[in-house]
Amino acid sequence: MTTTTETAGLAFPRFERALAVGDAGEGVGVVDELLDRGVEPTVLLLDVISEAQRRIGERWQRGEWSVAQEHIATGVSVAATEAIARWVRRLPVTRGRIVVGCAEREWHSLPALVIATGLRERGWNVAYLGACTPASRLSAYLHDAGPDAVAVSCSVAWALPGTRQFVEAGTSAGIPVIAGGIALGADDTRARALGATAWAPGLREAADVVETLPAVVEPARPLGAEELAEQRGLELNHRTLVETLRRRWRPQDTFTEGTPEHSDIAVVVGDCAEQSLCALQGALLTGDGRLLGDTATWVRSVLSARRVPEARVTALATELGLLLRDYPRAAALLRAHWPGAA
């Protein structure tokens, strides 16, 4: 007899094909069929949908897929997750109320939708706010609904400042906040620094930790004033800094202008510049320099996959250092954690 995990595993290639061709109907069909065959929603959420999404990210990173392809495939995953969400809504509500969402600048709503769906399966009364929710809107919702907890998902470092605002909105109303998502890293350092009540790297952990939350928490402590001032400065000048970086650091010039390689890398370079500066902001907010090390690794893999020579890749560290002359704390973090930065 096959287990439900094996059943889901057998259907996985079909689901991946649906993502590759952008066929939402087929994606939903695969999920509906597995639910009918008794596969648990959590298994589908983790072993099918989250796993497929992880592979999409890798395909983009290796340069095999465009951003649009990635979006279209994610759209199929969202449709499939919504099908699971419809299915779990038939289950009775047996626990308290939880608000799940993403902060401003966070457009990756799927992880939050996965968490929302998984918590609903476990009997929580979940309100899902979706992507890019301003903190003022969250606050209004918290006043209206008075939930037992807030769960915030953060996938990109760019959304860490907004995630901190979510923490402030929740905890200043006395409501505990669970934070998770890849931008929060592999341990609780960043969640703790942002003032979250708990850290949950995934659905199973979130489901466990939500049981242990205090009913009331104190307002999150203020962040370090100097770090915060530098982060705000970087945020305010972000566009200018990204443009300066793009102008000075031009790894695409390895290739002839007008070639597909040149234009592909010009786009990727924008992402690398954005990510690096966002990682600096995140490191200032959380004190976690690993954000920089991880971003350096990511930049390297993205550019190496596109055959950019080593010297052009390492030039980024130098350019970043030059850019941060007015930001001593950010510059110190860069030197300490970005390989090759001096």
Which residue's CB is nearer to other proteins, number 156 or number 323?
156
Q: How far apart are CA 283 and CA 227, in angstroms?
A: 9
197 is an interface residue for other proteins by CB under 8 A: yes
Between helix 4-21 and helix 51-61 the angle, nearest 10°, is 40
- Name which position in 83, 100, 173, 316 contacts other proteins (CB under 8 A): 173
Q: How far apart are CA 169 and CA 265, in angstroms?
A: 39
86 is an interface residue for other proteins by CB under 8 A: no
- Name which position in 29, 134, 224, 293 contacts other proteins (CB under 8 A): 134
172 is an interface residue for other proteins by CB under 8 A: yes
Alpha helical stretches, state H, 62-129: 67-88, 110-121
Residue 237: alpha-carbon gap to chain centroid: 23
Near other proteins by CB under 8 A, which window of 62-70, 244-252, 286-294, 297-305? 62-70
Coil, helix or strand at residue 34? helix
Near other proteins by CB under 8 A, which window of 84-92, 170-178, 316-324, 331-339? 170-178
Task: List beta partners, residue 125.
Answer: 97
CB of 134 to other proteins, least distance (A): 5
Beta carbons within 8 Å of 214's beta carbon, 6+ residues apart: 176, 197
Alpha helical stretches, state H, 146-237: 160-172, 189-193, 203-209, 225-236
- Name which position in 44, 113, 126, 142 contacts other proteins (CB under 8 A): 142
Which residues of this protein are in contact with other proteins, per CB under 8 A?
22, 24-25, 66-68, 71-72, 74-76, 78-79, 104, 107, 131-132, 134, 136-137, 139-140, 142-146, 172-175, 188, 191-192, 195-200, 205, 208-209, 212-219, 221, 239
